[in-house]
């Protein structure tokens, strides 16, 4: 993992960090390449011939075959890790990575031009929504670090909020989604990965620290579980924006979302763990299968041979 956690978090909430297991990095790299290639296909390509294990099939089924690689692997990873303990903090960041990949499945179907397209009626552009998602991911981590740093101080009456000046040195939301679509998607990954590297290791006592959210008294644990629901909330907003832009989602768009959600379930089995342990072989096998799968799809698209009935 190359994402770097903000020094503010390490200063206010010092503690152990966890790096992504190399086998999970390999699986993610292979899946990202697969996702981005498949997302760029048009619906006509779904009818091209594609060989599955030496048998005639089509590219539509190639999408489902990715799901059939990922879902058994998810079950195998769960079985391999069944004897390894987990924690609420680890499970919360696992939920966040599942939500992150559902969002990546939507973003993979877009173009740079979509980021700034105006949906009208003063609704947010996709870039503005992504700036909010990314900025909030950083903000949740900063805010929780502050609440952890004042855990021993008495709670004041009234709204429970971190001081406004706390966030003065944070990048504004408008800068959290700068650049191309590739840049925006990378920023999302970097922020989820880096914040999870610290918060996956919180103890039960740390998850129970009193804090605030929107002025309401909550625990750090509540704030951490909010990561996944917040990403999901604004993924729906982006889907609504796509509708407002008058862009009819293609079958490839829907299939791209399907495989991204399936991958998110797989990654969540080990994301935030100190190591994949006995599941490492599962992730390595996923990477191998996807690396072997992708060239065959590219060749089928280039050949553009209509598939026979099968």
Kindly report the average pLDDT of the chain as a whole number.
Answer: 96
Task: State both tokens at 186.
Answer: 């990378």
Question: Each residue of 16-58: pLDDT tens digit?
Answer: 999 999 999 999 999 999 999 999 999 999 999 999 999 999 9
Question: Each residue of 89-107: pLDDT tens digit?
Answer: 999 999 999 999 999 999 9
Q: Which residue has the tokens 């504004």?
A: 172
DSSP assignment of 204-234 equals HHHHT-EEEETBEEEEHHHHHHHHHHHHHHH
Question: Each residue of 250-305: pLDDT tens digit?
Answer: 999 999 999 999 999 999 999 999 999 999 999 999 999 999 999 999 999 999 99
Question: Each residue of 196-225: pLDDT tens digit?
Answer: 999 999 999 999 999 999 999 999 999 999
Sign of the CA dihedral with 165 first, then 124, 126, and 242 last: positive
From its phi and psi, is residue 213 left (phi > 0), alpha (psi between -120 and 50) or beta? beta
Backbone angles phi, psi at 285, to 5 degrees: -70, -35
pTM strictly above 0.85: yes
Instruction: Tell me what the mean pLDDT of segment 175-193 comes to.
Output: 98
CA separation for the pair 31, 100 (Å, rounded):
14
Contact 172, 135 (CB under 8 A): yes
């Amino acid at each position: 993992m190359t994402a770097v956690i903000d020094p503010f978090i390490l200063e206010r909430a010092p503690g152990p960090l966890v790096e992504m297991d190399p086998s999970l990095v390999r699986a993610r790299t292979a899946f990202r390449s697969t996702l981005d290639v498949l997302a760029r296909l048009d619906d006509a390509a779904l009818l091209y011939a594609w060989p599955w294990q030496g048998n005639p099939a089509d590219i539509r089924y190639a999408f489902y075959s990715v799901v059939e690689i990922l879902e058994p692997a998810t079950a195998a990873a769960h079985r391999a890790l069944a004897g390894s303990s987990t924690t609420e903090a680890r499970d919360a960041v696992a939920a966040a990575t599942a939500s992150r990949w559902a969002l990546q499945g939507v973003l993979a179907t877009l173009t740079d031009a979509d980021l700034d397209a105006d949906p009208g009626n003063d609704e947010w552009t996709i870039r503005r929504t992504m700036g909010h998602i990314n900025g909030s991911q950083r903000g949740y981590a900063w805010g929780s670090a502050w609440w952890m740093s004042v855990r021993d101080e008495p709670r004041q009456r009234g709204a429970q909020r971190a001081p406004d000046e706390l966030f003065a040195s944070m990048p504004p939301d408008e800068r959290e989604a700068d650049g191309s679509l590739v840049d925006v998607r990378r920023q999302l990954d970097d922020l989820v990965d880096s914040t999870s590297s610290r918060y996956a290791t919180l103890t039960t006592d740390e998850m129970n620290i009193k804090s605030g959210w929107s002025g309401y008294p909550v625990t750090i644990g509540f704030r951490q579980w909010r990561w996944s629901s917040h990403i999901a909330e604004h993924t729906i907003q982006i889907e609504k924006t796509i509708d407002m832009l008058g862009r009819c989602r293609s079958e490839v768009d829907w299939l791209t979302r399907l495989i991204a959600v399936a991958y998110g379930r797989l990654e969540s089995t080990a994301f935030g763990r100190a190591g994949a342990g006995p599941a490492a072989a599962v992730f390595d096998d996923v990477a191998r299968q996807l690396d072997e799968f992708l060239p065959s799809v590219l060749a089928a698209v280039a050949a553009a041979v209509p598939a026979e009935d099968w």
